[in-house]
Amino acid sequence: MPSSTRLPRNPVDAEDVRDRVNTALGAFMAERTALLSGISDQLGPVAEALRDFLLDGGKRLRPAFCYWGWRAAGGATDDPGIERAAAALELLQASALVHDDLMDRSDTRRGLPAVHRRFENLHRTSGWRGDREQYGASAAVLLGDLLLIWCDELFHRSGLPAAAVSAAKPAFDLMRTEVMLGQYLDVLEPVAGDSTDAEALDRARTVLHYKSAKYTIERPLQVGALLAGAGPDLVDALGAFGLPLGEAFQLRDDLLGVFGDPAVTGKPAGDDLREGKRTLLVAHAMRGLSPADAHRLDTRLGAPDLTPDEIADLTTLITLSGAPALVEARIDHLLTDSLAALHAAPLADARSREALEALADAATVRKY
């Protein structure tokens, strides 16, 4: 990375951003736990599940980009309001993950049971009546919705001036709209899309942009900058840095979803294949395989009865297609474009430029 002074290897901890966001989340959850307790003792498992999900993991990348967008626009280092505003993005992330795991029928998240599985287990161990899978799904929908409500609440109650919150709110709302529509397009593709047609790559990129790239990096940066009073030139410059970096981040995630080590990712090996995700990696693989092998990948991807041996077979097909090399080359290209935009951006201080370089490294150079 072109920088004379390197930040700590985990740049989310630079200036204690991660710890400060965790403290803000902990304080907010303590308030919400008291509220739940006052409503009913039966909400104890809800409070416990949400605390575990929010406070026991996560890279806090979105809050970090929000904070460094704030700093890039001249925001103060010690304003607790930005910590709470940035923490609101983690509530949005948690909401999306709870719903995403349910839609993907995932069993685990960060090495622990996914929220819907957790409540299925509660139903089973409590000996309750009815369909435990339906109960788990219903609980996950409601808890994800609750997190989305709390995300808005924490953002508005950040303590930052009302004019600053008002200036950033359109970008904040657009971010939430984009991620929900990206999620829908992601759900649509396996059932309505044709993985072998000429538009498959374009559709995969659209999903990638709206489900992940914008919401992970571009919009958090812009929200943070707007909270600090950024003008259009800086907002646009941060977008030129953030969008290609967000795409590179998701492409790395796609590789990890197929080839990642469960000890690192917290998800089973080949989990994206089991869930049938039609990623850009898969779209490239379809184009690089023989018709017979492409058909095999297309028909078995996401099959309910997919076996571990078949996951290994599909992983081999994707490797032989040359798709991983194409995706790696795309990541390198996107990272180059992103850093070039960062170096040209009119940032308020050198520290924010160094931090964003280090975050770009952390977001894209992750191990299998």
| Contact indicator for 235, 222 with CB cutoff of 8 Å | yes
Q: Which tokens go with 31?
A: 């308030």
- 3-state SS of the chain is CCCCCCCCCCHHHHHHHHHHHHHHHHHHHHHHHHHHHHHCHHHHHHHHHHHHHHHCCCCCHHHHHHHHHHHHCCCCCCCHHHHHHHHHHHHHHHHHHHHHHHHHCCCEECCEECHHHHHHHHHHHHCCCCCHHHHHHHHHHHHHHHHHHHHHHHHHCCCCCHHHHHHHHHHHHHHHHHHHHHHHHHHHHHHHCCCCCCCHHHHHHHHHHHHHHHHHHHHHHHHHHHHCCCCHHHHHHHHHHHHHHHHHHHHHHHHHHHHCCHHHHCCCCCHHHHHCCCCHHHHHHHHHCCHHHHHHHHHHCCCCCCCHHHHHHHHHHHHHCCHHHHHHHHHHHHHHHHHHHHHHCCCCCHHHHHHHHHHHHHHHCCCC
| Contact indicator for 238, 345 with CB cutoff of 8 Å | yes
Query: Which positions ≥6 away from 103 have C-beta within 8 Å?
Result: 183, 187
In this structure, how many other beta carbons lie within 10 angstroms of the beta carbon of residue 198? 8
Please write the tens of the pLDDT for every residue from 201-253: 899 899 999 999 999 999 999 999 999 999 999 999 999 999 999 999 999 99
State how far Cα 179 lies from the chain centre: 10
State how far Cα 264 lies from the chain centre: 16
| Contact indicator for 139, 119 with CB cutoff of 8 Å | yes
Q: Which residue has the tokens 């990348």?
A: 61
CA–CA distance, 279 with 206 (Å, rounded to integer): 10
CA–CA distance, 206 with 213 (Å, rounded to integer): 10
Smallest CA-to-CA distance from 138 within 98, 106, 91 is with 98
Please write the tens of the pLDDT for every residue from 271-294: 788 888 889 999 999 999 999 999
| Contact indicator for 56, 343 with CB cutoff of 8 Å | no
User: Would you state the CATH architecture of domain 11-364?
Assistant: Orthogonal Bundle (1.10)
Please write the tens of the pLDDT for every residue from 7-37: 344 555 567 899 999 999 999 999 999 999 9
Higher-pLDDT residue of 70, 366: 70
Cα angle 242, 247, 249; round to 5: 90
How confident is residue 368, by pLDDT bands cut at 50, 70 and 90? very low
Mean pLDDT of 163-177: 97
CA–CA distance, 113 with 72 (Å, rounded to integer): 38
Instruction: Please state the pTM of the whole predicted model.
Output: 0.90
In the predicted structure, residue 82 carries a pLDDT above the cut 90: yes
Please write the tens of the pLDDT for every residue from 92-116: 999 999 999 999 888 888 778 999 9
The residue type of 53 is F
Would you state the pLDDT for residue 4? Answer: 30
